[in-house]
Amino acid sequence: MRRSLLFLLLAVGLLTTLPSVASASATYFTTAQILREFFPSSEKVTYRKVQLTPAQAESLRARLGYKPAKSEYVIFVAMTGEKVDGYAVIDDERGQHEPITFGVKLSPEGKVERQEVMVYREKYGEEITDPRFRAQFVGKGPKDPIRAGRDVDVISGATISSRSMAVGVRRAVALVDELVLHPAKPAEG
Amino acid sequence: MLLRSLITLGLILSFAPAPALAQNPAEAGGEGGVAARTSDEGPRLELDGLEEAAPATAAAPLHAPAESFSVRLDPGITLSDRAAAIIDRTTIGGYGEHDFVVPQQGTTTFVAHRYVVFIYSRISERISTATEVEFEFAGSPLKRDGVLSFGEVLLEFSVVDVMLTDWMTFRAGVILVPFGAYNLRHDAPAQELPERPIAYTTVVPTTWFESGAGFLGQFGLGEHSRLTYEIYAINGLDAKILDGQGFRAARGSNLEDNNNDKAIVGRVAYSPWLGLELGFSGYTGAYDRINNRVNMVNGDMFWRLGSLDLHGEAVWAFIDPGFVQGFRDGSPANTRDRVPTRMRGYYGQADYHFRIEPFFELLPEEWHDGYFTASVRYEEKDTDMEFVTAAGDAAKLTVGLNIRPVPAYALKQAFSLEQNGASGVQPHLWSSRFFPDSNWQYIASVAYLF
């Protein structure tokens, strides 16, 4: 029995010194890192700060079903020369207990090309960082529902985080469409 | 013997090649080496003046440097600083479930079914702890038949995890026994029907918890496939194995084991793609002091087809002939009742999620993404396959409809028909006596996660 315990301690000791150890940190990307990941071949990435007008806020509310939490959003724009390579939105969406920070890369036409979790703070539900979950968002555009349980499969055991990501990506798509690609013309006075 | 098996498993797994997991922070861009890898590449970032606009949390490291974990141990700091150092890393949450039951026979009643508090905390970067404290039927005191008695306040899950590699975590404490999928995912807000499957409160005594230790983890098999595993040595079931109750009274040996044998339990699940999971579980352990054993196997399946979820499980238990005995000398628990030798049970359930758009438009704005779920479940249990009895044999058909205005709150209702073995004939839905002999029950329930 004593020998078995010694073996157990030895095994645990060996395991903890293996080179293929994982980092327990759940910060996957900083803002600069995600933008370089999203647009590795672009010449530059800049941004547009958009202060929501009452009309835009109302239009987003109608599209999303809720009023956006912020009054100002930042849309990152990747350029090569005068050509737009794509857009990116970095935002937070509430998980079960904590906010999940995520990034969405969109094509010049406003379709999702990639989605990444940047900071995950919950104890459970980190399965939403799995590539097979994130791949579901690729190709989604303003005309897609992007709703968990409809065109986005949720992960068992990470249901709330899955739904949070669907809500977040849907908002990112709507923001780029509403604020950059098809901005409402100001009312003539 | 059991420890040696665990060690061997651990060593084998430790020398297997580490799979490429999703978004490994060390590769994808943590604050460490990845930043160095990517910082010289990519486009020029013209983000001056943006610091306030970009999420500050994304640019800041999530966890403070490891040294800060020692703050709470510093004898020189104030109690409030120590509390702040702990609270900063601790998450509190939980769930609750409250029912209103209308039986065909008996009294209608409200039931304060369960209130569970979660406490999660990081001890260090790699070590974390998670605990669930359950107050069942409002805890203590419990009033039954007009008499106040001890109620139930339980640690049903209380573990400390050590993350060894991406694919292996060492867990010790009060383990949620990985036998079948239902026991692992039993939280009320995660379920669509208010009642647990009858075989999965008896043959698999959900919530099944035992003291023990072992390993869990996940392997990526290609881009879309995943293999998850959990394997533990636990104190295991004792000899309180009875027809009707199944293993319910034999679980939960947190203070002591009734023998020197440690049970081994594990579950392996294969998911070829998101939305499909196939699981297999096994349990073996002696239930008394003369090495009479319980061996159990369970298969589970979950398949998501758009808005339709199909899931089900089947369990078989093979028990060496014996008696309810083997507790300490003189214990009244040594009743010497006969122990059933075989048990079985299963359920199959379909959940269909749908929306009625005009209805949700009428609701407050935060509920516009809500949805309905319609469910149907058929199930059977047999806690002694040698005899057909009223308590031990049952077949049950349940239909349910719930609404979730937000994912974390479910208002459920279910209507069930249950036929037992009182007539001496094995109950089945397809027998001519199912509908005439069944008793009905209606339950409305609220379940919420916070």
Contacts of A177 (CB under 8 A, 6+ apart): A110, A142
What string of DSSP letters covers B262-297? -EEEEEEEEEEETTEEEEEEEEEEE-STT--EEEEE
Band of pLDDT at residue B168, cut at 50, 70 and 90? very high
Say how many CA atoms lie within 13 Å of B158 toward its Cβ: 11
CATH superfamily of B90-449: Porin (2.40.160.10)
| CA pair distance B206, B196, nearest whole angstrom | 8
Secondary structure (3-state) at A97: coil
Residues forming a β-bridge with B442: B102, B415
State percent of chain B over pLDDT 70.
85
Interface mutation vs chain A, best among B164, B276, B363, most A CBs within 10 Å: B164
| Partner-chain contact A129 B38, CB within 8 Å | no
Chain B positions in Cβ-Cβ contact with residue A97 (cut-off 8 Å):
91, 93
Q: Count other Cβ atoms within 10 Å, centred on residue A40.
A: 12
Among candidates B28, B165, B408 on the partner chain, residue whose Cβ is nearest the Cβ of A28 = B28
Nearest Cα residue to A84 out of A113, A46, A49: A46
Nearest Cα residue to B393 out of B401, B383, B402, B403: B383
* Strands ordered across the beta sheet of A112-119: A112-119, A99-106, A83-94, A72-80, A44-51, B44-45
Judged against a pLDDT cut of 50, whether residue A23 lies above it is answered with no
Annotate B56-90 with b (16+ C-beta within 10 A) or e (fewer).
ebbbeebbeeeeebeebeeeeeeeeeeeebeeebe
Placement of tokens 């990034």 in the chain: A103
Chain B positions in Cβ-Cβ contact with residue A156 (cut-off 8 Å):
185, 277, 302
A106 and A116 in contact (C-beta within 8 Å)?
A: no
Chain B positions in Cβ-Cβ contact with residue A119 (cut-off 8 Å):
57-58, 62
pLDDT at B20: 34
**CA distances for B368 relative to A125, A158, A167, B305, B361, angstroms:** 24, 21, 12, 23, 6
Dihedral sign computed on CA atoms, order B100, B106, B107, B112: negative
A105 and A45 in contact (C-beta within 8 Å)?
A: no
pLDDT digits (tens, 9 = 90+) for B299-345: 999 998 888 999 999 999 999 999 998 888 888 888 889 999 999 99
Average confidence (pLDDT) over A123-141: 87
Contacts of B370 (CB under 8 A, 6+ apart): B355, B360, B363, B403, B404, B405, B406
Chain B positions in Cβ-Cβ contact with residue A121 (cut-off 8 Å):
62
DSSP secondary-structure letter at B163?
E
Chain B positions in Cβ-Cβ contact with residue A35 (cut-off 8 Å):
42-43, 45, 47
Question: pTM of the predicted model, to two decimals?
Answer: 0.77
Interface mutation vs chain A, best among B8, B13, B14, B168, most A CBs within 10 Å: B14
B166 and B174 in contact (C-beta within 8 Å)?
A: no
What residues does each domain of chain A span? 26-181
Task: Output A71 or B7, whichever has higher pLDDT.
Answer: A71
Nearest Cα residue to B136 out of B119, B112, B110, B156: B112
What residues does each domain of chain B span? 90-449
Judged against a pLDDT cut of 80, whether residue A5 lies above it is answered with no
Q: Count other Cβ atoms within 10 Å, centred on residue B449.
A: 22
B2 and B233 in contact (C-beta within 8 Å)?
A: yes
pLDDT digits (tens, 9 = 90+) for B370-417: 899 999 999 999 999 999 999 999 999 999 999 999 888 999 999 999
pLDDT at B83: 74
Nearest Cα residue to A177 out of A89, A93, A115: A89
Nearest Cα residue to B201 out of B247, B155, B269: B247
- Of A20-29, A164-173, B173-182, B396-405, the range with the lowest mean pLDDT is A20-29
Contacts of A137 (CB under 8 A, 6+ apart): A104, A112, A115, A146, A152, A165, A169
Amino acid identity of residue B333, one-letter, is A
Which H or E run includes B344?
strand B342-354
> Is A62's Cβ below 8 Å from some Cβ in B?
no
Chain B positions in Cβ-Cβ contact with residue A96 (cut-off 8 Å):
93, 408, 449
| CA pair distance B388, B353, nearest whole angstrom | 37
Annotate A22-38 with b (16+ C-beta within 10 A) or e (fewer).
bbbbbbbbbbbbbbbbb
Average confidence (pLDDT) over B14-20: 37
pLDDT digits (tens, 9 = 90+) for A95-121: 877 789 999 999 999 999 999 999 887
Annotate A97-108 with b (16+ C-beta within 10 A) or e (fewer).
bbbbbbbbbbbe
> Is A83's Cβ below 8 Å from some Cβ in B?
no
- Of A145-154, B32-41, B147-156, B288-297, the range with the lowest mean pLDDT is B32-41
B348 and B375 in contact (C-beta within 8 Å)?
A: no
Say how many CA atoms lie within 13 Å of B170 toward its Cβ: 19
Interface mutation vs chain A, best among B3, B21, B45, most A CBs within 10 Å: B45
Judged against a pLDDT cut of 70, whether residue B21 lies above it is answered with no
For A66, the closest chain B residue by CA position comes to: B365
Nearest Cα residue to B222 out of B272, B267, B276, B268: B272
Task: Output A71 or B204, whichever has higher pLDDT.
Answer: B204
**Alpha-carbon A130 to chain mean position:** 13
pLDDT at A20: 37
Judged against a pLDDT cut of 90, whether residue B248 lies above it is answered with yes
| CA pair distance A116, A134, nearest whole angstrom | 7
| CA pair distance A93, B407, nearest whole angstrom | 14
pLDDT digits (tens, 9 = 90+) for A28-81: 898 999 999 999 999 999 999 999 998 899 899 888 878 888 889 999 999 999
| CA pair distance A126, B226, nearest whole angstrom | 14
Computed over every residue of chain A, the mean pLDDT equals 83
Secondary structure (3-state) at B85: helix
Residues forming a β-bridge with B393: B382
- Pinpoint the alpha helices (H) of A122-186: 131-134, 159-176
Judged against a pLDDT cut of 80, whether residue A186 lies above it is answered with no
For A16, the closest chain B residue by CA position comes to: B164
State percent of chain B over pLDDT 90.
56
Task: Output B83 or A68, whichever has higher pLDDT.
Answer: A68
Judged against a pLDDT cut of 50, whether residue B62 lies above it is answered with no
State percent of chain A over pLDDT 70.
83
Whether omega for the bond prior to residue B207 falls within 30 degrees of 0, making it cis, is: yes
pLDDT at B51: 61
Interface mutation vs chain A, best among B6, B11, B47, most A CBs within 10 Å: B47
pLDDT digits (tens, 9 = 90+) for B25-55: 433 333 333 333 344 567 888 887 776 444 4
